[in-house]
A and B are shown apart, each in its own frame.
Chain A
Amino acid sequence: MYPAPFEYYRAETAQEATELLSKHVGAKILAGGHSLVPAMKYRVAAPSALVDIGRLNLNYITAAEGVLKIGALSTHATVASSDVVKHNCAIIAQGAAGIGDQMVRNRGTIGGSLAHSDPQADYPTLVTCVGATIKTSSGKSYNADTFFKDMLTTALEENDIITEITMPVYGSGTGGFYYKIPHPASGYAVAGAAALVTVEAGICKRVSLVVGGATVNPVRAVEAEAYLVGKAPTSENIKAAAAMVAQVIKNPMGDGYASGAYRTHLAGVASERTLVEAVHRAA
């Protein structure tokens, strides 16, 4: 690969990273490099400098007092195989296991994926579904629901570093599932749906349903969620709820492989399938 010339710095602390970033105009944070480096290879991105945050102490996963904390540098492979994640917020581990291929999962990080906010990426959909909070080195906290702003754009301020993602844990009675329809070439989601369903006495108490891939940012299927709450999770009800997903898909993206209309349809298909599985896991 032949990127444009750039300088390379390695930060040992978040503070050092922030200083390096403000000192070098046009510098970018380097985490796993699996979105940034391909862009540099095509020379779509040509940062003047890279500030490698790989040594920062942000590679941890803990769960306490109902909160799961994932350090921003945790790789997809770490998250996918973490027993702590599997026990406390299983949907995140299951979703991470379906990102890219093993090599991508060994390098790519959750912080990098969220900061990059690729429309076809999986983590944005997943963290929105579980109601995660994204924390940064400057002390800011963002609710996932309002973090993703546009194509490759987030609420993150310039040079701020994502340090931690926190999310409420869930246990028995709640089931979660991420259903992804991957592009056969890139492996990214043509459409993906994440659902978290709490079932009590045969009735849906809480439903979170978020679809990604079809639009520039993940969208919450509010009508579908509202429809299911208070109803039994029967296949008819789930089908009816999934049929409402199309309403929230505004300006779907389309390309030679999958048109906007087809992606909208797939969002419904993925929603139905993921709801069925989430309900099954809630039992």
Chain B
Amino acid sequence: MAKLVGQPIKRVEDPRFIQGRGGYVTNITLPGMASVAIKRSPVAHARIVSIDASKAEALNGVIAVFTGKDLIDGGTGKLPCGWNVPNIKVPDRWAIQPVGDKVRHVGDAVAAVVAESPYIAQDALDLIEVQYEELPAVIGAKSAASNKTLVHDSVADNITYTWPLGDHAAVEQALAESDTVVTLDLTNQRLIPNAMETRAAVAQWNRYTEEMTLWTTSQNPHPIRLLLSAFTLGIPENKLRVISPDVGGGFGSKIFHYPEEIIVPWIARKIDRPCKWVATRSEASVTDSQGRDHVSTAKLGLKNDGTITGLFVETHADMGAYISTFAPLIPTAFYVCLLSGLYKIPSIYCNVVATMTNTVPVDAYRGAGRPEAAYLVERLMDLACRKLKMDPIAFRRHNFIKPSEFPYQTPVAMMYDSGNYDGLFDKAIASSGYHELIAKRDQARKEGKIAGVGIAGCIEASGPAPSKVAGALGSAVGFWESAVIRMHPTGKATLFTGAHSHGQGHETAFAQIISDELGIPMADVEVVHGDTGKVPFGMGTYGSRSLSVGGSAIVKAAEKVRTKMIKIAAHQLEAAVEDIVFDQSTGKAYVKGSPAKSKGTFDMTFAAYTAHNLPDGLEPGLEENSFYDPANFTFPNSCHIAYVEIDSGTGRVDLQQYCAVDDVGNVVNPMIVEGQITGGIAQGIGQALYEYGAYDSDGQPQSATFMDYAMPRADCFPMIHTDRTVTPSPHNPLGVKGAGEMGTIAATVTAANAVMDALAPMNISHLDMPLTPEKIWSAINKK
């Protein structure tokens, strides 16, 4: 059997998805199931004076209406924060805000209806009368800190925490001694994740065993179960089963613990009937945790020869109305610690001021902190080139960390594992035809067109690690991953993985690995995930961690399976264990030198289960596990290049060419990697050119429907060309790095740099995203 790792195997999950046979939470219908709908605040900031639900309760088909007080009295707890940075003030957040308390963003929950059908539940919402005493809204990551109105009385100045890192004095000195300093003020705008499947929850209470089953659209069912048990729902872990079946995309937004995961099971137990809630798209726009939203000032010190001397950054990060589960991680360790980019920067200092506003909470969104860092660093690099009149590639190369310098300790805590950035750029220049693109741009400019070439070199830290360091940084959880490989008597295998697939293709990639490790066909491997009733405690999927961490656990568990099989084979072939060869391509074990007489996987697993003829002291059965705690993050890196032309009449950007070269280490399935990178690029370009989760000064969302929120479509893109370089990660058994977020991280700034290069001849140095036609047209025409 040929090695499967490295092969573009078609995804085994796709036939069911493309035929509409995916099993999503929304597809679950249980006997006697009732529908839950949530009454949401239409205003951004107000005290809840009173709620009159009598008309709703009187509506035919309404079972009950519950308010915040009902849930609090009924034993539910506050939603906790899973990443506590030093001195953070975490304000109270209830599943439903009780009367007397406040609503703090449009979409905040004030009551829940349970009814015989979703239609009746929705009708009942219109009959609930809520009296609000409206308060001024706090809006704006930076201005929130000087707003007299407080989102939470417990959070003075609306500042939940500050997070400084680096040697401030050293940076000030470096800037003072520089030949020149480049300054940049930028906004990294708010984004709405918009996973294809909206969030949903179904809960079933078993009154006999007193067990609760919750189906929820989560990227990490075990941590959700832990939070529900320990903090919010109060049903012990051994009586609570959380299942995340097929999930239609998450992009980070489905990592977090949401109020509905408390409300729905609480009601199901209360009324002793299964309950279901499915978010409408409109609800998703105002309740799914959102992304980005930074306001930053940066200064880069430079020598005249192009050497970077120091970097100063101050960032205001908008946390929204509450602290979402992992929110404090994103603008801290995932952002500040990446500010060194691909470069040797002798000193870096960044202070993050995290503020509360009357907007939907902000948390991880594909890339999560790293796109914000890449955007800031790579915009600065382009501005530095302009100022020094240096070539963007020569300038970057001049400052690269060289291959011989790995592992490389940055001044912002990260220790990069491996990389060859010159090689990466060489490949990208060749792959994209960079010099031809420059010639094309220059020719276009001669013809009076507005054209630009954008380049960016970006770093990512994926697979947060190790758990000990995460704990020291404020994490309430570890970042290891689990795998159990259960061999069945007939030689087939089931993998139970703690990682969760919601579009990534784990069922394929993980089966490829096991097939290679144990010498059995892929079709003989079943991949099970997303069910706390089946799989061991696992951390789930985010931060591009599943392969480097979860995959490593699989390799370790497979090693243990092999070891036990070898013991059985040695016993039956009457040879010493050291003399047994296990041929991973066939799954056969034989005595060194005599392959003709061998034991196959079936022989060894069957023997393990009959236990008729096992070596003394060896337990029957064949099931092995691993809990793999990675030694470090992995550091994927990329060079992306784009060519744009701008319509001078309308200001519209026409993205004509895009080339991405990524180093994601070894590749298990190149087709899946290409899909991940391409999808990520589309998402990244979405931020650069189209998407904006805007609020007005009253806190009303301005783009809460697809009539206004511009998700990029296929016709927004040229064919995206992807290519790669490979420097294996030295510290995981597969040598892999994350591939899920690199595209997003690099694409935003690549597209932005291309547009700004196009506008360079007009002396326009920076425009904030999204780079919409009117913004560009106004800049060109100095309006």
Contacts and interface: CB of A to CB of B under 8 A. Distances in A.
B650 A181 contact: yes
A184 to B, nearest CB: 4
B702 A256 contact: yes
Nearest to A269: B649
A181 B650 CA distance: 9
B707 A2 contact: no
B774 interface: yes
A31 B282 CA distance: 25
Given A2-B280, A43-B126, A184-B710, A257 B774 contact: yes
Contacts of A257: 708, 710, 772, 774
B112 to A, nearest CB: 15
Contacts of B777: 262, 265
A259 B773 CA distance: 11
Given A5-B119, A269-B650, A258 B710 contact: no
A7 to B, nearest CB: 14
**What size tier do the contact residues of chain B reach?**
20 to 34
Contacts of B553: none
B774 A262 contact: yes
Contacts of A185: 690, 703, 706-711
A255 B280 CA distance: 25
A183 B706 CA distance: 11
Contacts of B712: 184
A266 interface: yes
Given A43-B126, A262-B778, A2 B118 contact: yes
Contacts of B709: 185
Nearest to B35: A2
Contacts of A255: 702, 708
B698 interface: no
A186 interface: yes
Contacts of B692: 256
Given A184-B690, A186-B706, A269-B649, A2 B122 contact: yes
A45 interface: no
B774 A5 contact: no
A265 B780 CA distance: 14
A1 B712 CA distance: 24
Contacts of A8: none
Nearest to B282: A42
B197 to A, nearest CB: 16
B650 A266 contact: yes
**What size tier do the contact residues of chain A reach?**
20 to 34
Contacts of B119: 2, 5
B583 interface: no
Interface string A200-238: 000000000000000000000000000000000000000
B650 A186 contact: no
A240 interface: no
A272 B649 CA distance: 10
Interface in A227-274: 255-259, 261-262, 265-266, 269, 272-273
A262 B708 CA distance: 17
Contacts of A155: none
A4 interface: yes
Nearest to A186: B707
Q: Which of A1, A256, A261 has the most CB of B within 10 A?
A: A256
Is chain B's interface secondary structure helix, strand, loop, or mixed overall?
loop
Q: Which of A184, A265, A266 has the most CB of B within 10 A?
A: A184
Q: Which of B282, B649, B706, B774 has the most CB of A within 10 A?
A: B774
A5 B123 contact: yes
B88 interface: no
Nearest to B648: A269
Interface string A176-206: 0000010111100000000000000000000
B708 A186 contact: yes
Interface string A1-43: 1101100000000000000000000000000000000000011
Contacts of A259: 774
A259 B123 CA distance: 36
A261 B783 CA distance: 10
Nearest to A258: B774
B9 interface: no
Interface in B99-132: 118-119, 122-123, 126
A218 to B, nearest CB: 20
A261 B777 CA distance: 12
Contacts of B650: 181, 266, 269
Q: Which of B694, B702, B708 has the most CB of A within 10 A?
A: B708
A192 B649 CA distance: 14
Contacts of B122: 2
Contacts of B690: 184-185
Interface string A44-76: 000000000000000000000000000000000
Nearest to B696: A256
Contacts of B778: 262
Interface in B64-122: 118-119, 122
Contacts of A272: 649
Nearest to A272: B649
A261 B126 CA distance: 38
A200 B159 CA distance: 71
A273 B652 CA distance: 15
A114 B432 CA distance: 48
A256 B703 contact: yes
Contacts of A184: 690, 710, 712, 716
A214 to B, nearest CB: 13
Contacts of A266: 650
A273 B690 CA distance: 24
A240 to B, nearest CB: 16
Contacts of B126: 4, 43
Contact of B708 (A4, A256, A261): A256
A185 B711 CA distance: 6
A255 B694 CA distance: 12
A269 B777 CA distance: 12
A188 to B, nearest CB: 8
A272 B778 CA distance: 19
Nearest to B690: A184
A34 B194 CA distance: 22
Q: Which of A185, A255, A269 has the most CB of B within 10 A?
A: A185
A116 to B, nearest CB: 15
Nearest to A120: B707
Q: Which of A255, A261, A265 has the most CB of B within 10 A?
A: A265
Nearest to B708: A185
Nearest to A268: B649
B646 to A, nearest CB: 13
Contacts of A43: 126
A44 to B, nearest CB: 11
Interface in B671-714: 690, 692, 694, 702-703, 706-712
Contacts of B280: 1-2
Contacts of A258: 773-774
A152 to B, nearest CB: 15
B222 to A, nearest CB: 33
A256 B710 contact: no
Contacts of B118: 2
Interface of B: 118-119, 122-123, 126, 280, 282, 649-650, 652, 690, 692, 694, 702-703, 706-712, 716, 772-774, 777-778, 783
Given A2-B280, A43-B126, A184-B710, 11 more contacts: A2-B118, A181-B652, A184-B712, A184-B716, A185-B710, A186-B706, A256-B702, A256-B703, A266-B650, A269-B649, A273-B649
22 contacts: A2-B122, A4-B123, A183-B710, A184-B690, A184-B710, A185-B703, A185-B706, A185-B707, A185-B708, A185-B710, A185-B711, A186-B706, A255-B708, A256-B692, A256-B694, A256-B703, A258-B774, A262-B777, A262-B778, A269-B649, A269-B650, A272-B649
The 8 A-B residue pairs with the shortest CB-CB distance in the complex, in nearest-first order: A2-B122, A184-B710, A185-B710, A269-B649, A186-B707, A262-B774, A256-B702, A184-B690
